Amino acid sequence: MKNVFYTILVTLITLFFAELVLRMVVKLPDPYQHLRVKSHSTGEVIRLQNTRNTDVRFVFNPNTLWPKEEKNIVDIHINNFGFRHLEDVDTSRNEFSIFAIGGSTTQGYDYAYEKSWCQVLEKDLEEHFDQPVNVYNGGTAGAAMFDHIALLQNRVMHLKPDMVILFAGVNDVNVLVGDDNIYRFDDIYESVEAVSWYQLGLARLTLYKMYLNAKQNFGKRPQKEHKIEPEEDEIEISPNVPVQFADHLASPAATQELPMAKVMPDVNTPYYAKMVRSFIATCQVNNIPVMVMTQPTTWLTEDEELQKYHWMNKNKEFRFEKTFMQETMDIMNDDVLEISKELNVPCFDLDQVIPKNGEYFYDDCHFTPKGSVMVGNTLSTFIKDNNLIHIN
């Protein structure tokens, strides 16, 4: 009996000292950090939104198209209205306010604040007009037109912005090919991750984090990873800062494992056109200047390296021919161009401006830092050349 007691005691002491040593030499993020942060919802009117007054650390595993000189840990600040902007929204300021509304291609969590196209646009307009301009980034990953309209009506419209920019399309393609409830007739309930109290406690231990990492990676096929080593002082993640993770490699691999659909689905593109009309009409009846942008995608790119990282040509059960996806996106972009002409709304045809290769994109539609900077610069040129902003 004594031998059993001493064995257990020695084991516990060994584990204790092992934990102390590992904490000093191994830095692993808490896998359940997102469950420890208290969050609240402002209601179900806006389906997807950023938690206001929040600092987030975005960590991602890049693919081979990501420039080696760029970091893969980005600090994100969300202001008092839920926008990615260092300054709070304050209508008492004498500023020209622009609100950019879109999905992840507007949000731009992959790159530093100053390289997001919203900030590139803001800086260029400020230098040109020599007046304060704020471009508030209202991009939210996964957001589609029903989200954009909700954000416009409930978070932006009453602020009386000087301009609203709509940059949408690719998430709506995914909705139309994979969602049988595009009109949102029923309530949507998000699944809650079930983690027991003892798992939350164990996850504070480095030994348990190492076990979870080993368990997650066990049996995975080895992949050639293009890792970017962050600076040593940037690896430390504060326990008070929520962390979001992304993997540029996992999603393409998962898509490739899906069977190819034998029949391409019917796509209700008129639905998208009606939603774009609704967005524009909401701005116009409230005397808010609005402009739209077409959505570039790389499904038919000739860049073979870029082709390997496509992952959005799917629904839950099948993957679809990239030709079908591009043809659908082309129809939706043509509708945007036609609607903007009919309603006398400026349309920046980004789809025809930006090259479709791995220098400017790292997957189906997301920009590299160079691509994001190009979007901001060319959009600024379009706005200035067409005299869309009048600042006294």
Q: How far apart are CA 56 and CA 76, in angstroms?
A: 5
Reply yes or no on whether the pLDDT at 309 is more than 90: yes
- Average the pLDDT over 215-234 and give the result: 52
3-state secondary structure of 314: strand
Q: Is the pLDDT of residue 311 over 90?
A: yes
What is the pLDDT confidence band of residue 333, given thresholds at 50, 70 and 90? very high
Give pLDDT, residue 34: 62
At residue 233, does pLDDT exceed 50? no
The better pLDDT of the pair 3, 327 is held by: 327
Cα maximum dimension of the chain: 88
- Taking residues 89-115, report their average pLDDT: 94
In whole angstroms, give the CA distance from residue 116 to residue 4.
61
pLDDT of residue 322: 97
Tokens of 232: 């040593």
The verdict on pTM exceeding 0.75 is: yes
Q: Does the structure show a pLDDT above 80 at 267? A: yes
Kindly state the average pLDDT of the residues 275-291.
Answer: 97
Closest C-alpha to 19, from 153, 209, 196, 152: 209
Q: What percent of the chain has pLDDT over 90?
A: 67
Q: Which of 61-70, 186-195, 378-387 has the lowest mean pLDDT?
A: 186-195
The residue-averaged pLDDT of 2-15 equals 81
Of the two residues 93 and 238, the one the predictor is more confident about is: 93
pLDDT, tens digit, 9 for 90 and up, residues 187-214: 444 455 566 767 777 778 887 877 777 7
Contact between 37 and 243 (Cβ < 8 Å): no
What pLDDT, on a 0 to 100 scale, did the predictor assign at position 228?
46
| 221 pLDDT higher than 80 | no
Residue 321 pLDDT > 70, yes or no? yes
CA–CA distance, 255 with 309 (Å, rounded to integer): 10
Q: How many CB atoms lie within 10 A of CB 60?
A: 19
13-22, 120-129, 282-291: range with lowest mean pLDDT: 13-22
Mean predicted confidence (pLDDT) in 361-380: 98
Tell me: pLDDT of 33 over 90.
Answer: no
Confidence band, pLDDT 50/70/90 cuts, at residue 111: very high
Instruction: Tell me how far CA of residue 207 lies from CA of 22, 226, 346, in angstroms.
Output: 8, 26, 57
Residue 146 has pLDDT above 80, yes or no: yes
| pLDDT higher than threshold 70 for residue 227 | no
Q: Is 81:89 a contact under the CB 8 Å cutoff?
A: yes
Among 42-46, 274-278, 317-321, 329-333, the range scoring the smallest mean pLDDT is 42-46
Computed from CA positions of residues 166, 169, 172, 176, in that sequence, does the dihedral angle turn out positive or negative? positive
Nearest to 242 by CA among 37, 6, 9, 25: 37
pLDDT band at 230 (very low <50, low <70, confident <90, very high): very low
Reported as a single tens digit per residue, the pLDDT across 236-263 is 545 668 889 999 999 999 999 999 999 9
Q: Are 109 and 244 in contact (CB under 8 A)?
A: yes
Asked if residue 383 has pLDDT above 90, the reply is: yes
Q: pLDDT tens-digit profile of 335-348?
A: 999 999 999 999 99
Minimum mean pLDDT range among 25-34, 227-236, 361-370, 379-388: 227-236
Gap between the Cα atoms of 149 and 135, Å rounded: 18
